Amino acid sequence: MRYVYNRHDLSNKRCDDEIGITSIRGGNIVGEHTVQFFGPYDTFEIKHTSYSRTVFAEGAIKACKFIKDKPNGLYSMNDLV
């Protein structure tokens, strides 16, 4: 697989081994994340939209409280659950 970033200026057909990645910012949406899978006959989409940075701040605070007494190592947000 080959990752191609920002196809806005390209009009040619995507190659079979190509995965397109694009980032767009605007409006009052502080966090919108969409994952799309395009097939020849349909599209599957998973989407999350946040209108406030509060949810991100709460996650950061929760992560800080979790990590403060932990030994050095690699942790992820999955460890907080």
Same domain, 46 and 57: no
Question: Quick one: pLDDT at residue 64?
Answer: 93
Range of the domain at 28: 1-50
Same domain, 67 and 46: no
Same domain, 68 and 80: yes
Confidence of residue 43 (pLDDT cuts 50, 70, 90): very high
Pair of tokens at residue 30: 């502080």
Q: Strands (DSSP E) along 1-81, which ranges?
A: 2-5, 18-21, 31-38, 43-50
2 residue type, one letter: R
Give this prediction's pTM.
Answer: 0.49
* Average pLDDT of the segment spanning 55-77: 91
Question: Quick one: pLDDT at residue 73?
Answer: 93
- End-to-end CA distance of the chain: give it in Å, rounded: 32
6-15, 16-25, 34-43, range with greatest mean pLDDT:
34-43
For residue 23, pLDDT beyond 80: no
